[in-house]
Amino acid sequence: MEVAALQREAEKKANADAVRQFESQREAEALLYAEKMRKALEEVRVAREMAKAAEEQRLAAVRTAAEATQAAEAAAKRAGAGQEDKIVIAALPKLDLSQQNFDGIWTFQNSSQTCMIKSGSVKVAIRGTTIRVFRRDGEIAGQIDSSGAIRWTTPARTDGAPVDWSGRLQGNSGSGTYARRDRRCSGIFTARRD
């Protein structure tokens, strides 16, 4: 009788040790995942700040070019008043950077804390204003405008529910968010031109 009791006690202790070890491992994995998500969110924040700074620089360059052209035209009018000789001014070209070209193959990396599929990547082809998202279950079409605003809808891989994606590309990178329409899960993505 004592041997059986000792054996049961040993099994209980082994089970308790296994549960503690499993919980420890699960906590470590959760901390690791939380750190990865923190880094991903930080990368998105930095990318957005860089995009904002680049846009501010572009707008400053456009303003400076316009001001220089106006100043040169005003100087020419003052210098040319009452003279028969024509003064020719080489004006700076008008900058229209609102029409960006996003054509090419892009890689979109997504991550989520709330969706069943926590992370992944997908290839996206952009040509003109059309986006083609290549998935294992087929191809999805989307739209991009000249400012880089993107949007498309995919069926969730788990149950086919609609998932809306939206974001912005600038230069060779971009970022955005996605969410199921029923709000059961959502996430973020970053994009990089290949």
Give per-residue pLDDT as tens, 120-162. 999 999 999 999 999 888 889 999 998 899 999 999 988 989 9
**What's the pLDDT score for residue 62?**
76
The single-letter DSSP state of residue 189 is E
Domains for the chain: give ranges and CATH numbers: 1-97 (no CATH), 104-193 (2.40.128.120)
DSSP 3-state assignment of 70? Answer: helix
Single-letter amino acid code for the residue at 74: A
Question: CA 91, CA 59: separation in Å to the nearest integer?
Answer: 18
Strands (E), 28-185: 104-111, 119-127, 130-135, 138-144, 149-155, 162-170, 173-180
| Residue with tokens 């220089």, as numbered in its chain | 68
Q: Per residue in 78-117, pLDDT tens?
A: 766 555 555 555 555 555 545 578 999 999 999 999 998 8
Q: Which pair of tokens denotes residue 182?
A: 């029923």
pLDDT tens by residue, 36-93: 877 777 777 777 777 777 777 777 777 877 787 787 777 777 766 555 555 555 555 5
Alpha-carbon distances of 173 from 139, 148, 183, rounded to whole Å = 22, 10, 27
User: For 152-191, how does the pLDDT look when each residue is reduced to its tens digit (9 = 90+)?
Assistant: 999 998 898 999 999 999 999 999 999 999 999 999 999 9
